[in-house]
């Protein structure tokens, strides 16, 4: 019973300890600030009301940041730092709005330092305990990896490095191809058409299919077996290895083959809140967006010939719903006409055209692109409900013709269309132009599968420093 429910018990236990740490850190902060126990407990009594309103929000942020996730030991320090940052912002905002009598500049800064120190210590201890128990079978998932080349070995190594023993790999399953590698051959436990007996024999809870093709119809036999036993199955690409090390990605990204009914119901509510969030964001920030947009429009008009706005037909995938996407014009008027002359200099692949020092870009356009200010007119698309603020990037219709890899079929990137296209997304905060088209698609698939309002807020927070640092932008 304890082993089976450990994935639920561990986060609850960790959350309870964090509540204790939260209050202990506040008491310690007040004591360090005023040097009296009486003052500390007096202010702590006033803090109890803050707990009632604030702690559910703090715990929700902690849940999203992954600090309670039993399968994650990696990036814990980064997640705790992010959690502390958001905690500080929310705490300062609350105390400012509530006109609280606490010395916010003194107490809150000490509180954040102390709670981060306490959290780091308690989480390190709990993570060590968790890893020891997971090795003994507490909450681990018996896992099979389907594939017949060396990429399955590489994937299993990454899986172990990042998630430890959470995924207890029982062996590899041949997908029908001839196996020549001696190391791989020694770890094969069966064939794909024996999946029913393998699931029962090893009590399997998770199946990963490592395939370059990513074509779902090739794995219908495995999908049916997994659905029969209620097993989660996910098809992943060899390109996923690098993405699994991104701290924004807290699970293995790929194409889920089995349907989770509860997740579908959860998505419906998420879509409702997502649409509400989009509209509220535009209303609140229109005071800033409109003046900036007018200034940029004037600069474009004064520095080059042509319209202020660039309009282009875009979609999330070939054959998908098309719409007119708006951007500030960053290129000279004849840019599309001479694009073919530079296709051999394309520095990306798939349906992406990226070129450093593109001669078609205007001087003011380079600045706009560097800081992503050319995307601002897409808030018009958001108002028209054609786009969302957060989501997969729509691509120019003509760029889909550049897809030459026949294995990258609809099964892979068409699932990007399960949500609205966005102004920013995981791709932008994870490297942008430094990522390949395949990696962009995989990040989008991860977003579609794991979408929540907290993920949207996280991406929004990450977008600002990504714009300022202009990482991967050209």
Domains along the chain? 2-135 (no CATH), 141-258 (3.40.50.720), 262-469 (no CATH)
Lowest mean per-residue pLDDT among 185-189, 301-305, 399-403 = 399-403
Long-range contacts, stretch 432-437, CB < 8 angstroms, 24+ apart: 432/466, 432/471, 432/472, 432/473, 433/347, 433/348, 433/354, 433/472, 433/473, 433/474, 434/471, 434/472, 435/472, 436/239, 436/348, 436/349, 436/350, 437/348, 437/349, 437/350, 437/351, 437/352
Bridge partners of residue 144, in order along the sequence: 171, 207
Kindly tell me if the per-residue pLDDT of 101 is higher than 90: no
**Residue keyed to tokens 């604030």:** 54
- Over the range 42-58, which residues count as b (16 or more CB within 10 Å of their CB) and which as e? ebbeebeebeeebbeeb
Q: Looking at residues 296-300, what average pLDDT do you find?
A: 94
Rounded to a whole number of angstroms, the distance between the first and last alpha carbons of the chain is 54
Q: Looking at residues 279-295, what average pLDDT do you find?
A: 91
Binning the chain into helix, strand and coil, the percentages to the nearest 5 are: 60, 10, 30
CB distance 123 to 80 below 8 Å: yes
CA torsion through residues 21, 24, 26, 32, sign: negative
pLDDT at position 272: 82
Length of the chain equals: 474
pLDDT at position 12: 78
CB distance 329 to 318 below 8 Å: no
Tokens of 130: 């968790």
Q: Looking at residues 452-456, what average pLDDT do you find?
A: 79
Q: What mean pLDDT is reported for the chain?
A: 77
Q: Looking at residues 262-288, what average pLDDT do you find?
A: 80
**Within 13 Å of residue 451, how many CA atoms lie on the same side as its CB?**
26
pLDDT class for 309, splitting at 50, 70, 90?
very high
Kindly tell me if the per-residue pLDDT of 200 is higher than 90: yes
pLDDT at position 384: 92
Helices 37-65 and 76-97, axial angle in degrees (round to 10): 120
């Amino acid at each position: 019973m304890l082993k089976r429910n450990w994935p639920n018990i561990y986060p609850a236990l960790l959350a309870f300890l964090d509540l204790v740490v939260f209050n202990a850190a506040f008491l310690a902060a007040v004591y360090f600030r005023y040097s009296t126990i009486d003052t500390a407990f007096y202010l702590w009594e006033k803090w109890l009301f803050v707990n009632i309103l604030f702690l559910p929000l703090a715990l929700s942020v902690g849940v999203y940041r992954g600090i309670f996730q039993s399968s994650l030991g990696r990036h814990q320090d980064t997640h705790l730092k992010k959690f502390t940052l958001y905690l500080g912002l929310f705490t300062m905002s609350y105390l400012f709005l509530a006109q609280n009598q606490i010395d916010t500049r003194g107490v809150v800064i000490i509180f954040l330092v102390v709670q981060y120190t306490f959290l780091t210590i308690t989480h390190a201890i709990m993570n060590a305990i968790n890893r020891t128990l997971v090795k003994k079978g507490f909450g681990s998932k018996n896992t099979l990896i389907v594939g017949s080349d060396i990429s399955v070995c590489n994937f299993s190594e990454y899986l172990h490095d990042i998630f430890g023993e959470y995924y207890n790999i029982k062996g590899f399953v041949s997908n029908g191809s001839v196996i020549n590698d001696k190391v791989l051959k020694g770890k094969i436990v069966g064939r794909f058409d024996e999946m029913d007996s393998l699931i029962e024999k090893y009590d399997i809870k998770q199946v990963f299919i490592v395939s370059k093709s990513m074509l779902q119809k090739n794995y219908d036999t495995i999908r049916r077996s997994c659905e029969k036993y209620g097993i989660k199955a996910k098809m992943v690409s060899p390109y996923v290895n690098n993405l699994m090390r991104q701290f924004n990605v807290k699970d293995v990204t790929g194409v889920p083959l089995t349907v989770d009914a509860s997740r579908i119901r959860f998505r419906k509510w998420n879509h409702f809140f997502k649409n509400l969030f989009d509209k509220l964001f535009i209303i609140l920030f229109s005071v800033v967006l409109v003046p900036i947009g007018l200034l940029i429009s004037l600069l474009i008009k004064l520095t080059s010939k042509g319209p202020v706005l660039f309009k282009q037909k875009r979609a999330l995938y070939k054959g998908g719903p098309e719409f007119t996407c708006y951007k500030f014009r960053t290129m000279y008027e004849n840019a599309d006409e001479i694009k073919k002359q530079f296709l051999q200099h394309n520095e990306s692949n798939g349906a992406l055209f990226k070129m450093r020092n593109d001669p078609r870009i205007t001087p003011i356009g380079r600045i706009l692109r560097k800081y992503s200010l050319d995307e601002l007119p897409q808030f018009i698309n958001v108002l028209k409900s054609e786009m969302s603020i957060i989501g997969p990037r729509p691509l120019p219709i003509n760029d889909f013709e550049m897809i030459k890899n026949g294995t990258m079929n609809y099964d892979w990137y068409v699932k990007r269309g399960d949500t609205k296209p966005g102004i920013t997304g995981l791709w932008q905060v994870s490297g942008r132009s430094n990522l390949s088209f395949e990696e962009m698609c995989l990040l989008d698939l991860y977003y579609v599968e794991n979408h929540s309002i907290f993920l949207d807020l996280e991406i929004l927070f990450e977008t600002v420093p990504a714009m300022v640092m202009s990482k991967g932008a050209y």
